[in-house]
Chain A
């Protein structure tokens, strides 16, 4: 993987990173307003574009595409050339991709605030936003897969397996959601296909990108090989084969044909194999290096994310059991679970990865290790103490309130104090994200120090 050739374009990684930072800071700010609206529903309540529903959709789409999507690409702009030992297929195309994605975000998210959206979860961009985003995504796919396919390296590292799988799958998945679900498939059939889209947007886009990146980061930061090639193979192929089949579990007990729902139970439960094998592989790679983890904010972010990944992917198969589903479905429990994945795991991985890459693409040492630790602890305490635990609890309360036949009001009234906690968590998580942003920007603006490699 190492080479003396300068294959990475520093300006490209930096530009993608700045866009990704906007992609987290704006939707996260709106999330603060959302959290406040749960407690004071009339807060900013007379402004149409600040209506709860619109902000909620802005938040989810902004974070998934604007933050996770673009920050994955920022990191891939570093990782894929390194793995392929050659520059990107076309740097120019990468720049154009960025501009198209920025335009897609501006148009799509703007339309959502303006009250024009599709009713498909995580695909709420109206058709004109869809076309722009799809164009940007296809351009990225051509560029990254082209780079991998043009590589002269002898072997294809496990990270690249995931990237190829994820891009090929997601182009098709995105088109399916925005055509077939949006315009063709009715009712229960539409729900079955929506389930596939929701499930695979996370499982076959976010997961392979993130897992591929961690498979790169842990060995390269520790300078040692991955523990087991065989386990890598098991984790990868179980994910690739089984993950796409479990989508109906988002609509258990719905009018979707029962055989589909029944099949979705074991097809989801088997995903436990994926998380166990992948995390085992990483932890065995980490064995003996915990001192290095504890002294590096970048690694600490990534490893904390690994534990969150383990937790959230253990929850997943457990949710597929119908007796569990009966209680937790529709509740805050699922909201906590989703944030454990997208914030606790993937956002942490991307932050850790960017902290590792940033000195290499700016030619400067990261400023203020102390601020990095502050970012880590405000986010971590904020998220686990004030978000994950309270919402998991309120989810159970809501679920059992409903089952017990109490008036619906109880499930809302009793959740109030937990929603208050969430507001506090939002402030802490936001603070952590601002500190992280300051670290990157201050580093980029600092005096040129020791250069790791030509950018």
Chain B
């Protein structure tokens, strides 16, 4: 009878039995209730490229720092977007919910940022987000004829990232557009040294990746962003203009919005950005001024520029209103003459701004002179 006293079989049965109990009760039972889930509208099956991107996402263990579900608590729907549902994940094998969030959740990433932002971020995250501690993936890019080119791997990964939660992308874009259209800057706080210092700190932390430490857009990401980041040493913007862009972002470009920052912080950045362009008055155009030059510029502007930039230069021309990214408002910034001349010569790749190199030199000078007048009295 001594074998009986050991009861060893009971423990073996316990091991197998309790496993089965947990699997049936807490695994199979919920699975059964989830059977037959329909994908929500807009959540199409992944393309082969997106599927390849998901493989890379798994193999580089991206999911260990980026979760993929928005919880109904802790204000997450304000930060990320609509709360995740079981339907949305009905095709995910294996699921990638994740358990740690070193970086932001990606469940609503689709359409949130432009492809070039995603690529530049992948190449070196500090190039777009200076405070980021995400690993860089330079081996997913190659040099070709002096150009930095993403490999198929990088493109597939970005395609996958842009597909995560695409069923809500339109809804989130519409909400964002509404916000942008209805945005009113409100009153700026009093400019102070403390505010400028805070602005400097935040500029270095949030903006310097793309716009460069000094504002001349020579950051790590410069090789990958199309359109390029604005050269902030050349535009002399009004604080309100910068503040508005920080709140709304520039759709169609890599410029995201930063409206999770307090208004005071965004004003601080705006004031600091103003200090990056050297102050030039209208007179210092580097060319002869005359009323005929001004008149010539005005005519050229009306003929060539106004459909997009608007008759008064406010960026509200009949064609301009439909453009993405929308054209800049010359009423709120005063680009330097050399900057305007350069853009007239090269255009702005990635936008509707085409080169006007065929224009006679004198017309271009006249345009530059005129455009600088548009902001008169408004830039401080």
Contact = CB atoms under 8 A, between A and B. Distances in A.
A85 interface: no
Contacts of A241: 18
Contacts of A195: 26
Interface string B34-72: 100100000000000000000001111111110101011
A145 B69 CA distance: 42
A240 B20 CA distance: 12
Given A176-B23, A335-B100, A149 B58 contact: no
B64 to A, nearest CB: 6
Interface residues of A, number: 97
Contacts of A193: 23, 27, 31
B19 A186 contact: no
A166 interface: yes
| Interface range, B side | 35 or more
A38 interface: yes
B27 A413 contact: no
A272 to B, nearest CB: 19
A120 B78 CA distance: 29
Nearest to A239: B18
A251 interface: yes
Contacts of A172: 16, 19-20, 23
A116 B19 contact: no
B15 A53 contact: no
A184 B27 CA distance: 12
B138 interface: yes
A169 B139 CA distance: 42
Contacts of A335: 100
Contacts of A53: 60-62, 64-65, 135
Contact of B34 (A165, A187, A198, A330): A187
Interface stretch (B83-91, B108-116, B237-245, B321-329): B83-91
A266 interface: no
B58 A118 contact: yes
Given A56-B64, A187-B34, A187-B92, A254 B23 contact: no
B89 A186 contact: yes
Given A154-B5, A402-B74, A244 B97 contact: no
A192 B31 contact: yes
Interface in A162-189: 164-169, 172-173, 176, 180-189
Interface string B287-314: 0000000000000000000000000000
B192 interface: no
Contacts of A168: 11-12, 14-16, 19
A247 B134 contact: no
Given A154-B2, A196-B22, A330 B101 contact: yes
A260 B129 CA distance: 38
A46 interface: yes
Contacts of A405: 75, 78-79, 260
14 contacts: A41-B132, A46-B139, A57-B64, A154-B5, A185-B93, A186-B92, A187-B34, A244-B19, A245-B22, A250-B99, A255-B69, A255-B89, A326-B71, A405-B260
Interface of A: 37-38, 41-42, 45-46, 48, 51-54, 56-57, 115-121, 124, 145, 148-149, 151-156, 160-161, 164-169, 172-173, 176, 180-196, 198, 200, 204, 240-241, 244-245, 247-248, 250-251, 253-257, 259-260, 263-264, 322, 326-327, 329-331, 334-335, 398-399, 402-403, 405-409, 412-413
The 10 A-B residue pairs with the shortest CB-CB distance in the complex, in nearest-first order: A168-B15, A53-B61, A187-B89, A244-B22, A330-B101, A189-B31, A253-B71, A119-B58, A255-B86, A164-B11
Given A119-B94, A255-B89, 20 more contacts: A41-B132, A46-B139, A52-B134, A57-B64, A119-B63, A153-B6, A169-B16, A185-B93, A185-B95, A196-B23, A204-B19, A244-B22, A244-B26, A245-B22, A253-B73, A254-B84, A402-B76, A408-B260, A409-B131, A409-B205
